[in-house]
Amino acid sequence: MNTGPRILCVGMATIDHVFRLTTIPQTATKVRANDYVRISGGMAANAAVAVSRLGGQATFWGPISHDANGEDILTELNKEGVNIDGVTRVDQRSAVSAILVDATGERMVCGYSDPHTFDEVVALPLKQLANFDVVHADCRWWKTVRPVLTATKARRQPSVFDADLAPNEALDTLAPLASHAIFSQPGLARVTNGATPAEQLRDFSRRHPDHGLLAVTLGAEGVVWLEANEVWQLSVPPITSIDTLGAGDVFHGAWAYALGCGMNNAACARFASATAALKCTRFGGRSGTPSHAEVDTLLAQWGAQPQRIQ
């Protein structure tokens, strides 16, 4: 049984059909895949699995269908040691994705989720937030997540918000509520002005002065964050990428875990970067998420430290 920090992950879970190809087609055609895996995914669910594999006590709250895919999602989360007692059962179809991964590890995602699932506001048991060291929330179930992050901010409870592509209202509303708002590059560009990630972070900061740490993941270029009005950047470990699917979700889950362990922001960035990098060396979405021991081994070999860039 894991005895690490208690992390609550709130948001989306899916079923992913992942196909490995040499190249992703640019025109309509037929191709044969080199490999295939069917696995549960989703931003918050992947983060919860990352927390559990790293040694944390992970709990997942999210909308789960009564259909066969929903049952498979719950079975996989349970096998990964994630507490699923607080899921919300819904009648809509489960979210599903078809994903193409090329030889360099880059992916194309075609996903479907019933809009009613994520547009409805579910009253979650906010009093139970006191049972967790850190709350992680994604941007998919954003109308339900909003009171969760409002409550964590009022409690001054550490929280990590995964700010990927979502309605502008979701990103502008939720990111300032989190103690740590970590954007994807497309998500940040969607709601800011600026030619560089640093300029975009500063633009968001000016418009939302009551924010916590603001960060953006840049794939192979690492992560950039704004802290105490200074911009920092950390490179990525030198790895051969096989599959980037789920790397951002794993990054956010690892950051939440590190935060729960009491690490400072620079240490959280290194830990999350190493965890996500190791995941990218293995095909199969979140199935490649590493253990804490594997992350520690990579960190011991990788000496990069954050650099102040502005």
Q: Which among 216, 219, 251 has a CA at the least distance from the CA of 232?
A: 216
Q: Nearest 5°: phi and psi at 138?
A: -100, 175
The CA distance from 307 to 37, in Å, is 38
Tell me the two tokens of residue 37.
């895996």
In what order do the strands lie in the sheet containing 107-112? 35-41, 14-20, 95-101, 107-112
Q: Which among 238, 307, 249 has a CA at the least distance from the CA of 277?
A: 238
The CA distance from 182 to 188, in Å, is 9
- Which residues face 98 on adjacent strands? 17, 110
Domains of the chain: 6-10+44-56+122-308 (3.40.1190.20)
CB-CB neighbours of 162 under 10 Å: 33
Summarize pLDDT for 213-271 with one digit per residue, the tens: 999 999 999 999 999 999 999 999 999 999 999 999 999 999 999 999 999 999 999 99
The CA distance from 56 to 38, in Å, is 25
Per-residue confidence at 275, pLDDT binned at 50, 70, 90? very high
Residues 6 or more apart whose CB falls under 8 angstroms from that of 98 comprise 17, 19, 109, 110, 111
Predicted local distance difference test score (pLDDT) of residue 12: 96
Predicted local distance difference test score (pLDDT) of residue 120: 85
The residue whose two tokens read 């009022």 is: 154
Predicted local distance difference test score (pLDDT) of residue 119: 85
- Which residues face 38 on adjacent strands? 17
Residues 6 or more apart whose CB falls under 8 angstroms from that of 227 comprise 213, 265
Q: Which among 285, 260, 257 has a CA at the least distance from the CA of 272?
A: 257
pTM: 0.96
The CA distance from 114 to 58, in Å, is 26
Q: Where are the alpha helices (DSSP H) in 213-264?
A: 247-260
Q: Which among 4, 82, 94 has a CA at the least distance from the CA of 44?
A: 82
Summarize pLDDT for 162-213 with one digit per residue, the tens: 999 999 999 999 999 999 999 999 999 999 999 999 999 999 999 999 999 9
CB-CB neighbours of 69 under 10 Å: 19
